[in-house]
Structures are given as C-alpha cells and as structure tokens.
Structure 1
Amino acid sequence: MRLLFMGFGVGVAVGAGGCYLYLSATKQPQAARVARGIAFDEEQHHALKFGAPETEIVRQYEGYIAAYDYRTRNPKWVLEHITRSSSSGDAKRDGTEFFPDPGVDPHFSAKLSDFRGSGYDRGHMAPAADHKSSQKAMNETFSLINISPQVGAGFNRDYWARFERYVKELTYAAADVYVITGPLWLPTQSQSQSQDEPHKGGSTGGKWTLVHDWIGKPPGLVAVPTHYYKVVVADPRGGGEPGNPAVAASSESESQLAKGAVAVGAFVMPNQPIDARNPLSAYVVPLEDLEQVAGTRFFPDLLEDPRRRAALDTAAAGWRQEGLMQLKPFERLSVKQALAALPAPTSGVTIETVDTKISNAAVQETVSAPATSSSSLLSSSRALPPPPPPPKTPPGTGVLHVCDVNACRMPRPDFYLPSGSSNNNNKPRQ
C-alpha cells in the first residue's frame, strides 16, 4: 500500500511539473523593459515600487520584430530576416489595409487619419514584398508599428523602393539576409558662426539645429523623420544560391562569401527626393557613427569584435569615397550637407575632401535644370559602370562590406515593370 501511495504521489508530482512547463511554454509573454536584451525584475530595486517608465514597446510578428517609440509615434527600429523563399511566395498586396497595432496603447500610437492629407506616404520599414511566404506575414507588414511618414515621389516610390529591391536581391548571394531599418532625426549645421565664437561643444563650426515636420493633431503628433537608415547583414552560411546576375560579385568577394565571411553594410538616406542616377555607395556610412545618432547598437553578437568594426569602417570609407566621386560637384555638396551629422569615415584610408566652393554656373545648372522623369532618366542615364572593383574590406576578420559583394549596384529605375514595358504611371510599392 505504501508503494502504491508513493507511486501515486510521484505521478501527481510529475504531472503537475509537466503541466507547469506546458503552461510556461504556451502562455502569452508579459511586457518587459529590456536593457541590452536582459529583462530586469522590477522588485530588485526600491525605486521601481510603482514600475519603470514606459517609453517604447517591442512587438513580434511572423516576419519581423519592431520597437515602437511612444514619443515620436514612429518605429524606432524594425528587424527582419528574409530569404529567397520568404520574399518570393504567393501572397498578394491587393486588398491589404493599414491598421493601428493592437499592442500599442492608442494614446501613443499613430493613427490612420494622421497620414490623410499630410503629403507623406505611409512608408514600410519592413517591405511587404520581403514577406510573401504567407498572406498573414504580408498583411502584418501593414501594421502602423512598421510604418513611418516618407516623402513619396522621388523617395518612397522611387529611390528607396529600388534600395529595398537591392536588399531583397542579396538573398541570391547569401542564404539569409538580416535587415534593421529605422527613422532618424539629424540636425543641420549653420555656417554663420565666427571662429572666435565657438558653441558649447567647443567646436568652431556653426550651431547644430534640428528642424522637421509633424503630422496629425496635437498632442498626439507624429514626427516626420529627416532621414532613414538600413543596416544589412548578408549571411552565406546557410547555403544560399550565389551567382545570380543581379548581384554578380568579384571573384575575390565570391571566394570570401564561399568561406563563410558575412557581408555587412550601413546606409543612411535623407527623407527627400533623390536623383535616380546617384550611386548607392554615396550613402554608405560608418557603423559607429550611425549607432551614435540612432542611439542603438546593431547586431552586437556579430559585430562586438572591434577588429570587425574597424575593417567595416575602412571599407565604408572607400565605398563612400567612390560613390561621391561619381557625382557632379553640386551633387556631392548636396549629399555632404544631407549627411553632415554623419561624416565620411577616415579609419584606414584618406578621404579626399569634397570641394564645397561650387561655381555659380554649377549652382545655376542645378536650379535651372528641368524636372526629370524616370523614363527620361532611363534614356539619358550614365554609361554602365565598369566591372566590380576588388573588395575594400581588409581580410582576416570574417566580414566584408556588403558593397564588396556587388559594388552596391542598384536596380534600374524601371525594375518593377514587366520585361519590355515602358509604362511607369502605376508604380507598385514594395
């Protein structure tokens, strides 16, 4: 009898333990404040008696994870993992609708009405076209937690859309592509301050001023970013299918990818129309500088090694220089001004100073130049660039710059059109 009761007791204990583990594994996750990926216990500090202040929320969807900033009513960052299969499924954009995220307190959420009549597009951070593996995954990209106000013509519907396509095509060179996308608010620097009147930072340059639009109705206004960024990691170690002509790489970079080197690149673009002829490499930025202005550490598990960061910044300097040199002088000045808070990196290479003394004739050329349509850009575009140059990332660190893979060559402005078509009146968004 004793053995019987003992057996019964053990069975109850095992069953209760199993039930506890099952419930623990299936219950909905509780809200947590996270610092460098580690949630802290609110009972550990006496100051947390009534809870820690909430300034953002992190939400997880099928295709992406997003951190939402209560103050700006914008996503702070959106992290997605894309593959060839996830971006080439049968899901359709037709019939999908934008919706307020149910996990965001309505007091801090952007609203659909904020965008109506604002003059700005509802711009995806994680593009819908990256998540075609299921209709649910695509539909979820229309949550407002993934949306930020973007300039439409010339940016969201044009250059930024081509950039999204460029990132998507990296899945032909590497099995897995990880992307962090987000908004930025970068200041501009005035040049009126005299040398003997330094501002508080001790610099003799002009004052830094941040000016940007807001949309919606107070007090719940939505901040319009001045810039947007992407940090891209192309990881070939999952057995991708390299060799697609759209991402043709140099033999040296192909060799590094084949050996398991991970390609990384950081890019920042102003939230404004960008000339379709501008090379993508002109918008390459050093990772360290981007992290400082974004207030975010990107891919820390991959990029914690300072040697990797130094190697990537060296490559970024080379690619940025090459991109700037493909621009006309007044275009170089425009890009330099747009990214003034993110100066070109100088570690390991010498960056030629971009001449800011533009002649009156060059400025006049810019002012008097007529608006150029995408179709005319196609007919008058510059000659195709030469074969990809050798990689600019110093070897031996296990990483290379993403531009080393395909010289950061963007898709043509008409990439969205069927082969042989010339009608560009109805541009589908990514």
Structure 2
Amino acid sequence: MKNRIIYALLIALCVIGFWLFENFYTPATYSNPNGTRRDLVQTDFLPNSTTGEVVQHAYYTLSYSEAHEQAEWVAYTLKRKHLTYDDRERPYFIEDPKVKTKSADWRNYRGSGYDRGHLLPAGDRRFSEQAYNETFYTSNISPQDKYFNAGIWNRLEQKVRYWCKKYGNLIVVTGGILKNDLEEIGSEDVDVPRTFYKIVLRGNGERTQVLAFLIPAEESQEPLQNFVVPVDEIEKKTGIDFFQNQPEAWQSVIESEVNDNGWKF
C-alpha cells in the first residue's frame, strides 16, 4: 500500500512537472553574439512599416503588427553562400525579445490545426547556428494550413533558393495579408491570413527585376507563374509601400508590371 502511494505521488509529480515545462518554460533568448556578421537588406529596399514596430535581428528585419500578433512583413537578403546543407538542431519557438509588446506565445498555435509557418524559412539560414535559431522567434511565424505550408508555399521557397543559386543575391519580402476580419487562434487572438505574398528582387538600378506572388493560403497544384501579380496589387491589399525609398519613376515602372522573363521556372 505504501509503495502504491509513493508510485502515485511520483507519477503525479511527473505529470505536474511536464505541465509546468510545457506551459511556463522558455529557453534563453537567441541573442546576437558579439562580432556576428550581418547580411541585412539595405535601407533603400526596406518597406515602410504601417505599425511603427520595426525590429532588426542579425540576419533579417521585420515589421510587427501587435493587432494581428505577427509580422506584416519580413525582409531579408539571400546569397549563394547562405545556401548550405548544414545539419542544425531545431530549437524551441520563443517570443521575440526585441518586440516591445512581446510577440505571440507559440502555445497559441497548439491544438489550433495550423502550422507555425516560417516567413523567413529556416532552410535559408542553415549557414550558422545564430542565423538558424533567429528564424524561430514567433515574430517570424504565421498560422498556415499544413498542406499549404508543405505544398505550394514550400515549392515557392525552394524556387527562390533555385533563383539565388542561378542568378545570385536576392532581396525577399514576405508575409500574410493582414485584415480585421480574419479567423483568430489562441488566447492572444493570433490572426490567420487567408492569403500570403512574397516579393523577390534581384539586380539594381535599371537592371532591377522583381517578381511578386499572391497566393491563397491553401494547397494548390497550379504553376507558380499563375500567382504572379504586380507589386502594386499587394500594396493595395496591405497598405505597405514596399520600395518607399526608391525614386518615383523607378517605382512606377517596377511595381506596375508583371514580367517573368528572365526568371526560369
């Protein structure tokens, strides 16, 4: 009888310990070590922030929307030297310490039926532990249908890597279309975008080439080319001025056209 009581107490302590770990444990911040080299988007190509909450990490920049508990955009450079196959241990998702209002807790996603979908893919940042771990801040994730996340969205991410290998350095800006009538999950009311966008830029000056994608947040077998739109269309849906620091004449040409010539699909 005494042994049964001891066993029951041990089991109860294990259950309580596991519950406390799951609900209250947060690992150390993925801080920026001294001397870490940065590969950030030039200010000339950063979008404006409609929220005023711009956060700069060592290897990407974002604009956080507290109202939607996720980034309205994440911007980063992708270079050939970034595309490694280093084996990295997947870290915990943690709140972003640089977001003043605190980014959403990952537990909002638990049991929601949605993936914690990366905006800046972890696969683009395998070249260093620091760069890889930074992608697991919850400011860099958005609720995504698992078939979308593993399907057409993943195909687009892979295509971007292919273009980087083929053409060289790229600038990528990506996020969900954030509105006021979206489904919400978790105790913090994380909004679930119905559509995601990705803008890919290469070159500079008159030789700049841009492709912009607007994709409904559901799996599709359609070719990626079918989702190419003018940057202007994404600006209308988001209220974001993506290339605000570029000359007006440059913007009027680059943002209004759909031209996938020179991009091998």
TM-score (norm 2): 0.75
The separation in 2 between residues aligned to 1:84 and 1:122, in whole angstroms, is: 26
Q: Is 2:233 the counterpart of 1:292?
A: no
**CA displacement 1:132-167 (0-9 Å, x = unmatched):** 2211101100101111101111x1011100100111
Q: CA deviation at 1:60?
A: 1.4
**Alpha carbons of 1:309 and 1:174: their partners in 2 closer, same or farther (altered >3 Å)?**
farther
- 1:229–1:269 CA contact under 8 A, matched in 2: yes
The separation in 1 between residues aligned to 2:216 and 2:229, in whole angstroms, is: 13
Q: Is 2:247 the counterpart of 1:279?
A: no
Q: Which residue of 1 aligns with 2:182?
A: 212
- 1:91–1:133 CA contact under 8 A, matched in 2: no
SS at match of 2:53: strand
Q: CA deviation at 1:104?
A: 2.3
**Partner letter of residue 213 of structure 1?**
E
Q: CA deviation at 1:175?
A: 2.2
Return 5+ residue gaps in structure 1 as ranges: 1-35, 38-53, 187-209, 238-258, 317-400, 410-430
Q: Give 1 or 2: higher strand fraction.
A: 2
**Partner letter of residue 264 of structure 1?**
V
**CA displacement 1:325-376 (0-9 Å, x = unmatched):** xxxxxxxxxxxxxxxxxxxxxxxxxxxxxxxxxxxxxxxxxxxxxxxxxxxx
The separation in 2 between residues aligned to 1:311 and 1:112, in whole angstroms, is: 37
The separation in 1 between residues aligned to 2:230 and 2:240, in whole angstroms, is: 14
Return 5+ residue gaps in structure 2 as ranges: 1-44
Q: Give the one of 59, 75, 91 matched to 1:79.
A: 75
Q: Which residue of 2 aligns with 1:270?
A: 216
Q: CA deviation at 1:170?
A: 1.1
Q: CA RMSD in A?
A: 2.6
**CA displacement 1:199-252 (0-9 Å, x = unmatched):** xxxxxxxxxxx74310012xx3111111111111022x7xxxxxxxxxxxxxxx
Q: Which residue of 1 aligns with 2:120?
A: 126
Q: CA deviation at 1:308?
A: 5.7
Q: CA deviation at 1:305?
A: 4.0
Q: Is 2:236 the counterpart of 1:406?
A: no
TM-score (norm 1): 0.47
The separation in 1 between residues aligned to 2:250 and 2:52, in whole angstroms, is: 32
SS at match of 1:179: strand
SS at match of 1:228: strand
**Partner letter of residue 169 of structure 1?**
Y
- Give the percent of matched residue pairs that are identical in Structure 1 and Structure 2: 31
**Partner letter of residue 212 of structure 1?**
L
The separation in 2 between residues aligned to 1:212 and 1:297, in whole angstroms, is: 22
Q: Which residue of 1 aligns with 2:189?
A: 221
The separation in 1 between residues aligned to 2:80 and 2:159, in whole angstroms, is: 13
SS at match of 1:309: helix
SS at match of 1:288: helix
The 5 Å alignment of 1:317-328 reads: none
Q: Give the one of 140, 144, 155 matched to 2:134.
A: 140
Larger radius of gyration: 1
Q: Which residue of 1 aligns with 2:155?
A: 162
Q: CA deviation at 1:95?
A: 3.2
Total equivalences in the alignment: 219
The separation in 2 between residues aligned to 1:299 and 1:170, in whole angstroms, is: 21
**Partner letter of residue 282 of structure 1?**
N
Q: CA deviation at 1:406?
A: 3.1
The separation in 2 between residues aligned to 1:91 and 1:64, in whole angstroms, is: 21
Q: CA deviation at 1:174?
A: 2.4
The 5 Å alignment of 1:2-401 reads: 55-88=51-84, 90=86, 92=88, 94-105=89-100, 108-153=102-147, 155-185=148-178, 211-217=181-187, 220-235=188-203, 261-274=207-220, 276=221, 278-302=222-246, 304-306=247-249, 309-310=252-253, 313-314=256-257, 316=258, 401=259
Q: CA deviation at 1:311?
A: 5.9
**Partner letter of residue 239 of structure 2?**
G
**Partner letter of residue 230 of structure 1?**
K
Q: Which residue of 1 aligns with 2:25?
A: none
**Partner letter of residue 61 of structure 1?**
H
